[in-house]
Chains A and B, each alone.
Chain A
């Protein structure tokens, strides 16, 4: 992958399209991300163009939103896992901490319904959310120092579940109400403060009263212009904010990665003992990176779930969310920030949202009654009926597909699309495992 070989392979005509693509990616990171996004948009257009511009733009909105929020979470995880080799599978818990703290801090002390809050301004809430995530991360970093990678994995998963169960608990909600006068809403969750980007387009965020900017945007693109629903346009406004945050995360992590601190991180990832011998304070650096990563996860949680209007602990913050983020990082290649962004976009569109859309489109094409159950579908002995059942129940199949992709990547491309490392890093060298055993007979 040296720079010298890239022009050579270019002149000798790249052997495969992917090789050419990777070459291009190495030259322009932004190019590959935008290129991928364009491909996703093209696919979205092909899937929905028959239903008009509104649904095309609507699908693009969903895909871009998911892609960006996954990119945010993946970037934060990449700092911990890709840079420092800290195998944190509690991402969902830290995101939940961020968004819940933000909600509690910002919610009105005397709301019409739902739990009361402190009624402080939104920026305070965002900072508080990041701080709480960081502090819990600090507490979690205690085991991070002493434990092997796979123990750390289980501990962080346990912490994330404890967080979710605590937020879910009505007893904890009552306890908070009694002591601090605020609440989590328990299993019912809580409503979240209004997205401030709405106020750019609508006076006080009220539908039907556009601001000057709103007039222009709704006039050109809205019902009277291109015919796109106002809610979709408002979402695009927020997507612009998200894109700015992704860029911010990216620049921050890139700078961090190239700083002496970042080089030490990578040294720890590759060989902790060597870094230690060279006089680096490995424990302190690990704590720092874990805390920064958790704060960023908190922020990612705020930007993601904070914009949804409502948040509840289950099923939003089940551990599977963590694995989604992991898959995004793995696809992109852990250790590469561009890869994390790309992984987020590819995961959200191709693996997460794509199959459901394709499935429901296919279902519409099949002219057959859906059998009520798998057994009935098999017993009809009719491939069409079975296909109808499969496309109707595309959700589980999508997860099967996701699992297959994950296993396939681990088998064939453990470095992901853009991984810039030789081996998967862990907090300690895991390659000591004695090899062999497969050739015994």
Chain B
């Protein structure tokens, strides 16, 4: 017994920061429990109801899944190509605009001019009500849009790789990072040029937009359910691809040790192509889903999300796909529950602060992902 005690004390001494974070986390949990009973232990925030906490957690889960889905691609390109891809956020925007263009085309074909539909209401004067895109009224359109977002963004990501990153394959990570900032500018402002710079609504509002699960006493927004189902399905497919297929094995091998992968005869360039198709496609799909969540679209929303996605990926351990998903969930929940304690203007800052703390205390992340740089 004595040895166990002393080893705990030793490890606590070795990592005082971790202990402090664990203590603070515990304090917040105790305070949260107290707040549910209507009084506060910590001097910040007010009592909240169970319902409100529940809806905060549910929203956090939904945002977290979208961010986690986006993080998979970022994490993959990081581990396999060894650079932090700053154009990843704009792949989200690409997927959102192209995907919603296709979804609108299916939903509003015949009623509204095609130019209005394909440009997501940039041209023409149709309202969201005229097009009427909603998962309950036009489920096929929403699903086809999701597939289109995946496919088109995968192609765009692949094209960016061929044009910008492939000639730099053997360069250091920082040079490629800078080139990716250039690529990000190009993608973002081509989107602005083509689709315009206005923020605009996308989904129609319909009368009964909630799904009611009467026996459970729950009533939830159909779009959020769609997002959870779609994100989980894509993550599951991703999991089976990584674990069961030859391509997945090759990817994991390359992320682990590129030299070893090369000499075992893994066609690395083919793996890189697959990485861009899958990573880019998932980015596009998550951008599409994010717009479904927010109900509105703007040309630079992906760029503004990028730092949150980075936070998720770093939190989970950069290079680890499962870490990205877990990190996304943590970031999403921090994002939606931090207003319990701090003013809501700081919820994004709280997410960044969690990321920075993680980097200081445990740079390898929750899942200790593959170290690359």
* Residues A400 and B186 in contact in the complex (CB < 8 Å), given A161-B349, A375-B119, A411-B168: yes
Our count of residue pairs bridging A and B at CB distance below 8 angstroms stands at 197
* Cβ contacts under 8 Å, A435 to chain B: 169-170
Task: Give the residue of A151, A396, A431 whose beta carbon is less than 8 angstroms from that of B363.
Answer: A151
Quick check: A434 and B259 within 8 Å, CB to CB? Answer: yes
Quick check: B175 and A410 within 8 Å, CB to CB? Answer: yes
Task: Verify if A440 is at the interface (C-beta below 8 Å from B).
Answer: yes
Task: Verify if A405 is at the interface (C-beta below 8 Å from B).
Answer: yes
- The closest CB in chain B to the CB of A173 belongs to B345
A161 to B356, CA, bound (A): 12
Quick check: A403 and B272 within 8 Å, CB to CB? Answer: no
Quick check: B270 and A165 within 8 Å, CB to CB? Answer: no
Tell me how far the C-beta of B2 lies from the nearest C-beta in chain A, rounded to whole angstroms: 34
* Cβ contacts under 8 Å, A398 to chain B: 189
* Cβ contacts under 8 Å, A150 to chain B: 83-84, 173-174, 177, 373
Task: Give the residue of B178, B183, B192, B359 whose beta carbon is less than 8 angstroms from that of A147.
Answer: B359
Task: Verify if B27 is at the interface (C-beta below 8 Å from A).
Answer: no
* Cβ contacts under 8 Å, B262 to chain A: 434, 436-437, 440
* Cβ contacts under 8 Å, A172 to chain B: 343, 345
- The closest CB in chain A to the CB of B372 belongs to A433
Quick check: B355 and A142 within 8 Å, CB to CB? Answer: no
Tell me how far the C-beta of B130 lies from the nearest C-beta in chain A, rounded to whole angstroms: 16
Quick check: B193 and A430 within 8 Å, CB to CB? Answer: no
* Residues A162 and B353 in contact in the complex (CB < 8 Å), given A151-B363, A374-B122, A400-B185: yes
* Cβ contacts under 8 Å, B124 to chain A: 373, 375
Quick check: A171 and B170 within 8 Å, CB to CB? Answer: no
Tell me how far the C-beta of B331 lies from the nearest C-beta in chain A, rounded to whole angstroms: 12
| CB 8 Å contact bits of B156-175 with A (1 = contact, 0 = none) | 00000000101111111111
Quick check: A438 and B343 within 8 Å, CB to CB? Answer: no
Tell me how far the C-beta of B13 lies from the nearest C-beta in chain A, rounded to whole angstroms: 19
- Which of A216-224, A245-253, A286-294, A421-429 is the contact stretch? A421-429
A74 to B359, CA, bound (A): 27
- Which of A3-11, A152-160, A177-185 is the contact stretch? A152-160
Task: Verify if A399 is at the interface (C-beta below 8 Å from B).
Answer: yes
* Residues A403 and B183 in contact in the complex (CB < 8 Å), given A379-B115, A430-B173: yes
* Cβ contacts under 8 Å, B116 to chain A: 375
* Residues A158 and B173 in contact in the complex (CB < 8 Å), given A374-B193, A411-B179: no
- The closest CB in chain B to the CB of A428 belongs to B373
* Residues A169 and B359 in contact in the complex (CB < 8 Å), given A153-B84, A374-B196: no
Task: Verify if A372 is at the interface (C-beta below 8 Å from B).
Answer: yes
* Cβ contacts under 8 Å, A407 to chain B: 164, 179, 182-183, 186
A47 to B346, CA, bound (A): 46
Task: Give the residue of B175, B311, B349, B373 whose beta carbon is less than 8 angstroms from that of A165.
Answer: B349
Task: Verify if B82 is at the interface (C-beta below 8 Å from A).
Answer: yes
| CB 8 Å contact bits of A126-156 with B (1 = contact, 0 = none) | 0000000000000000110011111101110
Q: Which of A151, A379, A403, A440 has the most CB of B within 10 A?
A: A403
Task: Give the residue of A146, A148, A171 whose beta carbon is less than 8 angstroms from that of B360.
Answer: A146
Chain A residues 14-43 with CB under 8 Å of chain B are none
A423 to B182, CA, bound (A): 19
* Residues A436 and B170 in contact in the complex (CB < 8 Å), given A168-B345, A396-B190, A400-B186: yes
Quick check: A440 and B307 within 8 Å, CB to CB? Answer: no
Task: Verify if B104 is at the interface (C-beta below 8 Å from A).
Answer: no
Task: Verify if A330 is at the interface (C-beta below 8 Å from B).
Answer: yes
| CB 8 Å contact bits of B257-293 with A (1 = contact, 0 = none) | 0110010001111101000000000000000000000
* Cβ contacts under 8 Å, B269 to chain A: 437-438, 440-441
Provide 28 A-B residue pairs closer than 8 Å at the C-beta atoms, listed in order of the A residue: A143-B359, A146-B360, A149-B373, A150-B373, A151-B373, A153-B84, A154-B84, A154-B314, A155-B356, A158-B352, A159-B352, A162-B349, A162-B352, A166-B349, A168-B345, A171-B343, A171-B345, A375-B116, A375-B119, A375-B124, A396-B189, A396-B193, A402-B182, A403-B183, A430-B173, A437-B258, A440-B267, A441-B267
Task: Verify if A376 is at the interface (C-beta below 8 Å from B).
Answer: yes
* Cβ contacts under 8 Å, B266 to chain A: 440
* Cβ contacts under 8 Å, B195 to chain A: 374
* Cβ contacts under 8 Å, A194 to chain B: none
Chain A residues 93-145 with CB under 8 Å of chain B are 142-143
* Cβ contacts under 8 Å, B356 to chain A: 143, 155, 158-159
Task: Verify if B194 is at the interface (C-beta below 8 Å from A).
Answer: yes
A404 to B355, CA, bound (A): 31
A411 to B169, CA, bound (A): 11
Task: Verify if B70 is at the interface (C-beta below 8 Å from A).
Answer: no
* Cβ contacts under 8 Å, A375 to chain B: 115-116, 118-119, 122-124
Interface size on A, residues (CB 8 A): 63
Tell me how far the C-beta of B100 lies from the nearest C-beta in chain A, rounded to whole angstroms: 14
Task: Give the residue of B123, B259, B314, B353 whose beta carbon is less than 8 angstroms from that of A374.
Answer: B123
Tell me how far the C-beta of A324 lies from the nearest C-beta in chain B, rounded to whole angstroms: 10
Chain B residues 342-364 with CB under 8 Å of chain A are 343, 345-346, 348-349, 352-353, 355-356, 359-360, 363
Tell me how far the C-beta of B186 lies from the nearest C-beta in chain A, rounded to whole angstroms: 4
Point out residues on A near B: beta carbons under 8 Å. 87, 142-143, 146-151, 153-155, 157-159, 161-162, 165-166, 168-172, 323, 326, 330, 372-376, 379, 390, 393, 396-400, 402-407, 410-411, 414, 423-424, 426, 428, 430-431, 433-438, 440-441
- The closest CB in chain B to the CB of A389 belongs to B193
Tell me how far the C-beta of A282 lies from the nearest C-beta in chain B, rounded to whole angstroms: 17
Chain B residues 73-122 with CB under 8 Å of chain A are 82-84, 115-116, 118-119, 122
A6 to B320, CA, bound (A): 51
A326 to B270, CA, bound (A): 33
Tell me how far the C-beta of A136 lies from the nearest C-beta in chain B, rounded to whole angstroms: 13
A285 to B138, CA, bound (A): 61
| CB 8 Å contact bits of B1-31 with A (1 = contact, 0 = none) | 0000000000000000000000000000000
Task: Verify if B181 is at the interface (C-beta below 8 Å from A).
Answer: yes
* Residues A426 and B115 in contact in the complex (CB < 8 Å), given A146-B360, A146-B363, A433-B82: no
A435 to B193, CA, bound (A): 37
Task: Verify if B188 is at the interface (C-beta below 8 Å from A).
Answer: yes
**Given contact pairs A151-B314, A153-B174, A159-B356, a sample of 12 additional A-B residue pairs in the complex whose CB atoms are under 8 Å apart:** A143-B359, A162-B353, A372-B123, A375-B116, A379-B115, A400-B189, A402-B185, A403-B183, A403-B186, A403-B189, A405-B182, A430-B174
Task: Give the residue of B123, B166, B314 whose beta carbon is less than 8 angstroms from that of A438.
Answer: B166
Tell me how far the C-beta of A217 lies from the nearest C-beta in chain B, rounded to whole angstroms: 41
Quick check: A161 and B307 within 8 Å, CB to CB? Answer: yes
Q: Which of A147, A162, A404 has the most CB of B within 10 A?
A: A162
Tell me how far the C-beta of B26 lies from the nearest C-beta in chain A, rounded to whole angstroms: 24
* Cβ contacts under 8 Å, A430 to chain B: 172-174, 373
Task: Verify if B150 is at the interface (C-beta below 8 Å from A).
Answer: no
* Cβ contacts under 8 Å, B360 to chain A: 142-143, 146
* Cβ contacts under 8 Å, A154 to chain B: 84, 307, 310, 314, 355
Task: Verify if B251 is at the interface (C-beta below 8 Å from A).
Answer: no
